[in-house]
Amino acid sequence: MPTRSFLAMAALVTLAGCGGEPAARPDPSPASTPGARGEAQRIESIKADCMKSKGFRYVPFVRPETTGTQDDRKRAAGDYETLRAHRAKYGFGVSSILVHRDPGGGRAEMPENPNYAIRQDLSPAQQKTYAKTSDACEAQAIKQVTGETVTSADDWNLKRNVAVSRTLRRELDGDPELVRLATAMADCMRAKGHQITSISPMDMEEWGRMTFGRRLHELARKENPDIPAYDPENGQGYLPSRLTPAEQRQFLDQEVKAALDDLECGKDFRVAFRPKHDEVSARLWQE
């Protein structure tokens, strides 16, 4: 399999879940609130007109909201048995894609953007021009609707995700009760043999995905020195392409063990962390 970014598969605030189970429910996407959906629809409509003026077909597409599968909802509600079963297969959801080839991690299927097929029908040269035109039209539409100057929708989403992530850290890492519970979780994980370098609430929430994401990324960099340094906040995280099936399985087994330890040690922490995280996240996306 080719070397590829795993962070591109998930919203940045959940930091490369790749189908894994975030302890807190995923942050609302930019198009998950009524106001944001209306904004996204206006952007898509303007982009479609722009693409048409450049000679390309484009279908306005805003991914529909989904409530997920029943297991998704149970995990989001903190159902222990469902969480444990999911982690026993997918771990933190980082290396599981190497073994299960399942980027959805068991999640409900989402409809495919029809513009993927439109682009694939073009010649290689036309696809390159289409991609550049798409970015330029997105930037134009975003500027017109929001006033933001960006290079593409990806650039816009990245900037917003980073801003949300930093605000989450500022508010949650400063919460005394969360700090106390995160410290207790870290002590428990260390007693089980895990190396914990930061005990801030946000770092304890993300340590598993970050730890195994970094390990995979460093293996990918050994295969390809041109891959940039690991930088999850700015969307840099890659999967290696040359692991044998046995090595992939071994990596996932290690991740599963750590994820189950994390589940046990983090029980009290996440009961307090989840609602505070969700409240702050929802408020930020609505601003």
For residue 217, pLDDT beyond 80: yes
User: What's the rounded mean pLDDT across residues 134-160?
Assistant: 91
The rounded distance, in Å, linking the Cα atoms of 1 and 243 is 9
DSSP single-letter state for residue 62: -
Q: What percent of the chain has pLDDT over 90?
A: 57
Distance, C-alpha 92 to centroid of its chain: 12
- Cα-Cα-Cα-Cα dihedral sign, residues 72, 74, 79, 85: negative
* Residue closest to 16 by CA, chosen among 164, 157, 213, 251: 213
236 pLDDT band, cuts 50/70/90, is low
More confident residue, 2 or 24: 2
The rounded radius of gyration (Å) of the Cα atoms in the chain is: 20
282 pLDDT band, cuts 50/70/90, is confident
User: What's the rounded mean pLDDT across residues 194-201?
Assistant: 94
User: What's the rounded mean pLDDT across residues 193-202?
Assistant: 95
**Cβ–Cβ contacts within 10 Å for residue 49, how many?**
15
* Residue closest to 97 by CA, chosen among 10, 24, 6, 12: 6
Q: What's this model's pTM, rounded to 2 decimal places?
A: 0.73
Residue 282 near residue 32 (C-beta atoms within 8 A): no
Per-residue buried b or exposed e for 59-92, using 16+ beta carbons within 10 Å of the residue's own CB: ebbbeeeeebeebbebbbeeeeebbeebbebbbb
> Which of 133-147, 153-167, 211-225 is the least confident region?
153-167
Per-residue buried b or exposed e for 177-199, using 16+ beta carbons within 10 Å of the residue's own CB: ebbebbbbbbebbeeeebebeeb
